[in-house]
Amino acid sequence: MNMFRRHSNHEIPGLNMASMPDLIFTVLFFFMIVTHMRSTPVKVQYQMPQGTELTRLTKKSSVTYIYIGKPVGSNDEQIRIQLNDKFADVNSIPAYIESERGRMSSEDAQAMTVSIKADQQTDMGTITDVKQALRQAKAHQINYSAEKRSSSAK
């Protein structure tokens, strides 16, 4: 009958924490891989225009961005062009495109796309000047960034 009695002084074994550092570093490594850090601070404010027939860029390593808009935190109403993290004028775009091609691999340089992120209030004269400068730099693949138009805003 002694074998049916329960012993009340049993302790619950402690949790084995030996694999916890491996798990933490695995999760940390995963988030480091999938997180995209913005390397260029945007110094112009822009509200992207809306469109209906939009496609996503497939290879982002071959994309170079040009931002056009009003300066952030300034009362200046003049439209400015931002290349990397500096304000520039239209004449410096060909040199910028050449330096961007130089930092890319030859495969990415062949497929280089210039994405223009312009404020929807930007006049077409500025956009045309940028396009002419891109033509001088032999950057013929141009993408205009836009937001998807909601079905209620027609």
Residue pLDDT, tens place only, 23-57: 999 999 988 888 766 677 788 887 788 888 888 87
What per-residue confidence (pLDDT) applies to 58? 76
Phi, psi dihedrals of residue 75, rounded to the nearest 5°: -85, 0
Cα–Cα nearest to 93, from 114, 107, 123: 114
Residues lower than pLDDT 50 in the chain: 154
Give exposure, 23-32, as e/b (b: 16+ Cβ within 10 Å): eeeeeeeeee
What single-letter DSSP state applies at residue 89?
-
Which residues touch 48 (CB under 8 Å, ≥6 apart)? Answer: 117, 118, 119, 120, 145, 146, 147
Q: Is the pTM of this model over 0.75?
A: no
